[in-house]
Amino acid sequence: MSEKKILVKPQTFEYSGLFIMKEFYHVIDTWLKENGYDKEEKKVREKVHENGKDIKIKYEPYKRLNEFTKYVLRTEIVVTNMITLQLEEEGNPKKFNKGDISIEIEGIKLADTEGHWENKPFYFFLRTIFHKFIIKDEEGRMDDLFKKDCESYKREILDYLNMHKFIE
């Protein structure tokens, strides 16, 4: 069984207003590709009702540090009451979406994902010594880089959403 360590506690932020859903997906995908993360969709649910559309998406993009360790950017996006509007931007008609978005981001480190170091007590002891005395500084540095990635990811999403705030 893998060892799970939460490096960035779940952060939730909300937005209400105009956006373009297709561009929103593109911003997330581009950031993940540029920063070396593999995107893994865990759950996508879409529900259409009288007032619009509700969408719930769970992503778990991850980046492998080595054979036994990976960092996971757990992301949950909930869009409620999304409707499509035709507005003019700089004189050109353009389709926008309007609705409420709630996003939760959590940063997790999964160590020993294959379970190799817990097979025998001696391996567990070796892993503990190895982490405590040999790679402690390197591991701490990589954890700090991952925390910066989480902050950058959050900032990229918020920057995109705030870009459309004053269009109406």
pLDDT, tens digit, 9 for 90 and up, residues 107-153: 999 886 555 556 677 766 776 776 666 666 667 788 899 999 999 99
- Helical spans, DSSP H, in the chain: 21-34, 121-129, 136-163
Note the pLDDT of residue 141: 84
pLDDT, tens digit, 9 for 90 and up, residues 85-116: 887 767 788 888 999 999 999 999 988 655 55
Whether 82 and 96 have beta carbons less than 8 Å apart is answered as no
Q: What is the pTM for the complete model shown?
A: 0.81
Dihedral over alpha carbons 30, 31, 33, 34 (to 10 degrees): 110
Residue 66 pLDDT grade (very low, low, confident, very high; cuts 50, 70, 90): confident
Residue 129: exposure state from Cβ atoms within 10 A (0-12, 13-18, ≥19):
exposed
| 26 or 163: which leads in pLDDT | 26
CA torsion sign, 137 to 141 to 3 to 123?
negative
- What is the token pair recorded at 61? 């993009």
Dihedral over alpha carbons 79, 157, 107, 35 (to 10 degrees): 130
Task: Give the mean pLDDT of 52-80.
Answer: 91
DSSP structural state of residue 116: G
Percent of the chain with pLDDT over 90: 52
Nearest to 117 by CA among 1, 7, 8, 27: 1
pLDDT, tens digit, 9 for 90 and up, residues 11-41: 999 999 889 999 999 999 999 999 999 988 8
Note the pLDDT of residue 125: 73
